Amino acid sequence: MKRKVVAKVALVKDLAKLSGIPRVQASFIYDVFIDCVLKKLKDGYDVLLPNVGCIKLVPTREMESHITGQTIPPHKRIKFKANVKLARFIRVATREYKITSK
């Protein structure tokens, strides 16, 4: 099954349509928002997006690649934890079968 992907263009188009602003302004707002999120992550903050989840950078330890055998130095990786509302929506909306109560 091929995965569906939503690109920036589609998000900006929907943002402009729902808010009633021109696409150029919606694109600018999107870019500024992403820049703010990246800056806060770089400064060491966790980013909490209400009704979506929390994005944070977590440190990793030094490890060895099982493929190449090279040592990978300690670094940070991104971690996302879905909010309860988003997690519940995903569980219900992506269910392939109906739950019948007894």
Mean pLDDT by 10 residues, the chain (102 residues): 88 95 96 96 94 93 91 94 87 70 58
**CA–CA separation, 85 and 17 (whole Å):** 24
Tokens of 24: 């150029």
Residue 31: predicted pLDDT: 96
Please tell me the CATH code under which domain 46-97 is placed.
4.10.520.10
pLDDT at 98: 63
Q: Where are the domains of the chain?
A: 1-44, 46-97
Residue 97's pLDDT is 63
Contacts of 23 (CB under 8 A, 6+ apart): 12, 13, 16
What pLDDT is attached to residue 27? 96
